[in-house]
Amino acid sequence: MVMKGIAVCLALAALAMVDQCNAQKVVSKPAYNSPQKIQKPGPPQQVQAAKGPQEPVVQTKAPERPIVWAYPIEPVVEPKPEAPFVPRPPVVTNQVAINCRESDIQVRVKTAFFGGGKLKSPYELTLGPCPAVGFDDSTQSLIFESDLQGCESNLRTYDDYLIYSFMLSYNPQATGSTVVVRAITISMLLECHYPRMHNVSSLALNPIFTPFSAIKVSEELLHFSFVLKTEDWLFERPSYQYFLADMIYLEATVKQFMHKPLRVFVDHCVASASPGGSPEYVFIENYGCFVDAQITGSPSTFLPRENDVTLRFQMEAFRIQGSTEGMVYLTCHLKATCASVPIGEQNRACSWMGQGWTEASGVNGACGSCGQGGGSDLSKPSRKGRSLPAAHREVVEWETTITLDPIRVFERTV
């Protein structure tokens, strides 16, 4: 029995070997025209995995250069130094002048309206709906004229006077083709006051007789004025503040009513830190000798006369030594004589021009005694009927002394 079992086992083993050989032959010789599949070897990891689990291989790469990056440090903002800046306050400028006449008005407006530069067009400025009627090249001013009832004026009636008011309008236009406007729309109210002296009742008018003595008294009335003026001499200066090296423009006038033609002079002028105080600085002396330029070398001078009733002069601003506030009081003695009286050593307006003296009316020979001291007396203001030399005893002089409101002169900051 044992032998039989061994024989059976050997036979089965032989059959198994034959089947394996046949199977290898079939794989090695594929059928004709059948696609041949070539198995590529798998990656090494798969082969190794087939062999069994192994430890993973980890490779590290050393950095090429050391890492030096860090968070940025926030910069420290240093405080800005305070600049010595003081904003300049706006300065009131008088660019509009109105002349109220008997039945109409005339308005002059400078093209640098309110200090805002030149007008782009004259049509930006209107008096009510009325445009300008003319232009003055000498003063760069637009001229408006209207009847008292024209240009949409408004009338207000009171017990003692009438008021005609007009509206001056400034409508700035855009610059060129842009929408840029560098000014604002402004409206200014202009008024003319007229006294109501006419009888408007239906009662009969009684004639009033004016005695000859009243007429003579009215002839003796004169009105002197002594004011600060703007640089163009068109308006009275609204501000009494100056800086050193500024020019002070002054104008002395006399208004004559029923007089013969008159001529005004400035005989004497002093400056002080207080009214009537000391020290005093005499800058016009000896009947109209302007000595400030001769003493200090300043450009102070009388201007050439344009008419007999007006005398203009300019002087460089100064301070009184010892005055901490810079206040200066100007006191001048004014005089009016008949225009027929010739200009001489007691009626003159002389200026020092560096090489000699010149007179405002061109009569330079009248300045011969200038620089020798002397002058008129300020202690006798408002004197009338002062006698002249024998050749002109019939001529009467009118004179007065005027003290301006104090001007204040500041030091100019450099």
Secondary structure class of 113 (helix, strand, coil): helix
Q: Domains in the chain, start-ordered, CATH in brackets?
A: 92-197 (2.60.40.3210), 218-414 (2.60.40.4100)
pLDDT of residue 232: 92
- Compute the distance between CA of residue 231 and CA of residue 303 in angstroms, rounded to an integer: 13
Q: Report pLDDT for 185.
A: 80
% residues pLDDT > 70 (the chain): 68
Using CA atoms, how far apart are residues 271 and 323, in angstroms rounded to an integer? 12
Judge contact between 339 and 260, C-beta under 8 A. Answer: yes
288 vs 268: CA distance, rounded Å: 6
Tens-digit pLDDT profile for residues 269-310? 999 988 877 888 999 999 999 999 999 889 999 999 999 999
CB of 388 within 8 A of CB of 397?
Answer: yes
Q: What is the rounded distance in angstroms from the CA atom of residue 213 to the CA atom of residue 396?
A: 18
Name the strand (E) or helix (H) holding 6.
helix 2-28
Least confident of 96-110, 250-264, 382-396: 382-396
Distance CA 282, CA 292 (A): 8
- Averaged confidence pLDDT in the chain: 77
Residue 384 pLDDT: 45
Q: What is the pLDDT of residues 308-347, one digit of tens each?
A: 999 999 999 998 888 878 889 999 999 998 888 899 999 9
Distance in angstroms (rounded) separating the CA atoms of residues 191 and 19: 138
Average confidence (pLDDT) over 362-372: 88
For the chain, the straight-line distance linking the first and the last C-alpha, in angstroms and rounded, comes to 142
Calpha distance 230→176 (Å, rounded): 33
pLDDT tens digit sequence for 141-151: 899 999 999 99
User: What does the block give as tokens for 190?
Assistant: 């202009």
Q: DSSP 3-state assignment of 339?
A: coil
Helix, strand, or coil here: 251?
A: strand
Residues 156-192: tens digit of each pLDDT: 988 888 999 999 988 887 766 777 666 678 888 999 9
Number of alpha carbons in the 13 Å side-chain half-sphere of residue 380:
11
The CA distance from 235 to 110, in Å, is 11
pLDDT digits (tens, 9 = 90+) for 212-236: 545 554 555 678 899 999 999 999 9
Q: How far is residue 47's CA from residue 127's CA, in Å, rounded to a whole number? A: 108
Give the separation between CA 114 and CA 183, rounded to whole angstroms.
10
Count other C-beta atoms under 10 Å from residue 267's C-beta: 24
Query: Phi/psi zone of residue 96: left (φ > 0), alpha (ψ -120 to 50 degrees), beta?
Result: beta
Alpha helix locations (H) across 182-334? Answer: 212-220, 292-296
Could you tell me which residue, 83 or 129, shows the higher pLDDT?
A: 129
DSSP 56-100: PP------SS-----PPPPPPPPPPPPP---PPPPPP---EEEEE
**What is the structure's pLDDT at 367?**
93
C-beta neighbour count of 253 within 10 angstroms: 17
How many whole angstroms separate alpha carbon 125 and alpha carbon 40?
Answer: 101
Please give the torsion angle defined by the CA atoms of residues 118, 123, 125 and 128, in that order, rounded to the nearest 10 degrees: 180
Residue 213 phi, psi (nearest 5): -65, -35
Give residue 116's pLDDT band: very low, low, confident or very high (50, 70, 90): low
Whole-angstrom CA distances from 367 to 24, 76, 90, 348, 375 are 152, 74, 43, 7, 13
The structure tokens 């842009």 sit at: 178
Summarize pLDDT for 5-63 with one digit per residue, the tens. 555 555 565 555 655 545 444 444 444 444 454 555 555 554 444 555 677 777 777 66
CB proximity list for 105: less than 8 A, separation 6 or greater: 98, 99, 145, 146, 148, 164, 166, 190, 192
Flag whether pLDDT at 255 surpasses 60.
yes
pLDDT (0 to 100) of residue 129: 92
Q: What is the pLDDT of residue 41?
A: 55
Tokens of 53: 């689990």
The rounded percent of the chain whose pLDDT value lies above 90 is 33
